[in-house]
Amino acid sequence: MNNGAFYKLSYGLYVVTSGGEGKFNGQIANTVFQVTSEPPAVAVSINKQNYTHEHILASGRFAVSILEETTPMTMIGRFGFKCGRDIDKLEGIGTRIGKTGVPIVTEHAVAFIEAEVVGQMDCGTHTIFLGRVVECDVLDTGAEPMTYAYYHKVKGGKAPKTAPTYQGEGSPKPASPAGKAVRYTCTVCGYLYDPEKGDPDGKVPPGTPFEALPADWTCPVCGAGKDKFVKEG
């Protein structure tokens, strides 16, 4: 088997929120898809270890926010690499309460979809929840939705181990071009610091070598310090 075939599948990048009775959580998901149009239904694949999984099971409802291309890595890191059991991931994030009572993330979202769970499938590590759509709307007609390819290629993002598309430690990595400035990888989340790109979210201009980053600079995805980075390769 050549697992590279999986990289040819296209996805988006979404925040899935759920909960009830004053306790809510959200997480990044890339596996959200429309299943039927009459009636409109969507499905989402969620890791059983994730706190959001507990919330969807208990409440039977979820909301999906479709992120825009310009979503900062700090926000993706907050929802994708931190655990809602440790921090309130929705604190300080622009949300509004939807028809289902679940907070919808409106910040950096081009559109949202709210659903009630009408079916689920046990997929081993993950559960696929099938949701009947109860509300949806476009929030920003001018913004481009972020694709998973854009997240990887342009933003330098990686998949956490709990993602359905995680490929393991042996997954193919882009080679560091010969003669170019050395790139550094975050050992916590896999984010790649590329001096040619800098860190636009952190106001680090392109052309800044890793060594020249300020001592208090942190990984734009997971918040780890410089000491958690290792030279690529």
d(Cα 19, Cα 53) in Å, to the nearest integer?
Answer: 9
Q: Which of 79, 191, 193, 229 binds Fe ion (CB under 5 A)?
A: 191
Q: Which of 186, 192, 204, 213 binds Fe ion (CB under 5 A)?
A: 186
**Residue 224, interface with Fe ion (CB under 5 A)?**
yes
Q: Which of the stretches 64-72, 110-118, 195-203, 216-224 binds Fe ion when contact is defined by CB under 5 A?
A: 216-224
**Residue 192, interface with Fe ion (CB under 5 A)?**
no
Strand partners, 113: 64, 136
**Residue 151, interface with Fe ion (CB under 5 A)?**
no
**Residue 117, interface with Fe ion (CB under 5 A)?**
no
Residue 70 gets the label, from left (phi > 0), alpha (psi -120 to 50) or beta, of alpha
Q: Which CA distances in Å does 82 have to 23, 52, 101, 163, 187?
A: 17, 12, 23, 13, 15
Q: Which of the stretches 34-42, 86-94, 131-139, 218-226 binds Fe ion when contact is defined by CB under 5 A?
A: 218-226
DSSP collapsed to 3 states, 79-110: HHCCCCCCCCCCCCCCEEECCCCCEEECCCEE
Q: Which of 82, 188, 198, 217 binds Fe ion (CB under 5 A)?
A: 188
φ, ψ (nearest 5 deg) of residue 101: 90, -5
Contacts with Fe ion: how many residues (CB under 5 A)?
8
**Residue 57, interface with Fe ion (CB under 5 A)?**
no
- Applying CB under 5 A, the residues found at the interface with Fe ion are 186, 188-189, 191, 219, 221-222, 224
